[in-house]
């Protein structure tokens, strides 16, 4: 099995009223762990690598590992570039066969966001690669909620943005934030419902880790839910435990990172289940 088409998976999810958790991977071990649990849950698997990750490891290495995982899997596996900013990152991901890319120009003006997004859509679609973009801006959990709220997605602008850019999926800002929250987040489900009525394509939720109520979003159009912080926490904690409790001479990289990544299995499985992706492969 080769890498699956992200657009196909997300369109099916939106129509079916469920969402795919998109897990940010960082290396071979994390890819193997996520794909393995998706397979056990009979769920479509959507893994994604951030721009920093492909700079560290190389888009070619990440794509090669993902393709092996997809070939050996019994469920569809798609590979996504998360939060791309630099033109070269898109070219690398597209060249190496990523299923989809995200152009994040959400900090730009509406017109500039449209302009940059259209450029990537033209290139990516010409190569059969799906494109996600963001309108509004998903902030950081360390900022005040009132600051993040200023950048929530406007439903009417969202409809216009999708029409102008021809993107395949739209990331929206409705109350989530990246990283750990310093406040209790509240999703603006009414805003999401309004966006969903105006925007027919799959919607995406970023900064979903630690957010109460994410399971309520798939019936309102969310087809992809990004998860990073919630799987990193158990991985780092387990790695620290292993390092603290074993003599250095008995440790090897594999004996650290394999069990460390497996510590995130309960989190991975939980998101698959609460978002309704189990059994949808």
Q: Where are the domains positioned within the chain?
A: 6-274
Which residues touch 182 (CB under 8 Å, ≥6 apart)? 141, 142
For residue 43, the model assigns a pLDDT of: 98
* pLDDT tens, position by position, 63-74: 999 999 999 999
Bridge partners for 228 per DSSP: none
Regions of the chain with pLDDT less than 50: 141
Residues marked active site are found at 82
Q: What is the pLDDT of residue 142?
A: 54
**Furthest-apart CA pair in the chain: how many Å?**
60
* Residue numbers belonging to the annotated binding site: 83, 104, 134, 178-179, 206-209, 226-229
Q: Of 3.10.20.30, 3.20.20.70, 2.120.10.90, 3.10.180.10, which CATH number belongs to 6-274?
A: 3.20.20.70
Enter the pTM of the model: 0.93
């Amino acid at each position: 099995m080769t890498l699956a088409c992200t657009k196909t998976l997300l369109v099916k999810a939106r129509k079916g009223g469920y969402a795919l958790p998109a897990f940010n991977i960082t290396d071979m071990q994390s890819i193997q762990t996520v794909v393995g649990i998706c397979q056990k849950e009979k769920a479509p698997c959507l893994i994604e690598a951030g721009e920093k990750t492909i700079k560290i490891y190389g888009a070619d290495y990440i794509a090669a590992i993902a393709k092996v995982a997809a070939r050996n899997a019994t469920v569809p596996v798609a590979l996504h570039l998360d939060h791309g900013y630099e033109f070269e990152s898109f070219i690398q991901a597209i060249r190496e066969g990523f299923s989809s890319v995200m152009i994040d120009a959400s900090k730009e003006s509406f017109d500039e966001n449209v302009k940059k997004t259209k450029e990537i859509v033209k290139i990516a679609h010409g190569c059969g690669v799906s494109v996600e973009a963001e309108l509004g801006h998903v902030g950081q959990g360390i900022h005040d909620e009132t600051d993040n709220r200023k950048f929530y997605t406007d439903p009417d602008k969202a409809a216009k943005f999708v029409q102008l850019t021809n993107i395949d999926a739209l990331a929206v800002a409705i109350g989530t934030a990246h990283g750990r929250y310093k406040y209790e987040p509240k999703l603006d489900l009414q805003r999401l419902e309004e966006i969903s009525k105006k925007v027919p394509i799959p919607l995406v939720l970023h900064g979903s880790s630690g957010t109460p109520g994410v399971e309520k979003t798939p019936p309102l159009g969310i087809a992809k839910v990004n998860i990073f912080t919630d799987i990193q926490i158990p991985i780092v904690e387990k790695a620290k435990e292993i390092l603290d409790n074993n003599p250095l001479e008995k440790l090897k990289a594999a004996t650290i990172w394999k069990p460390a990544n497996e510590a995130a299995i309960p989190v991975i499985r939980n998101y698959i289940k609460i978002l309704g992706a189990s059994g949808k492969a």
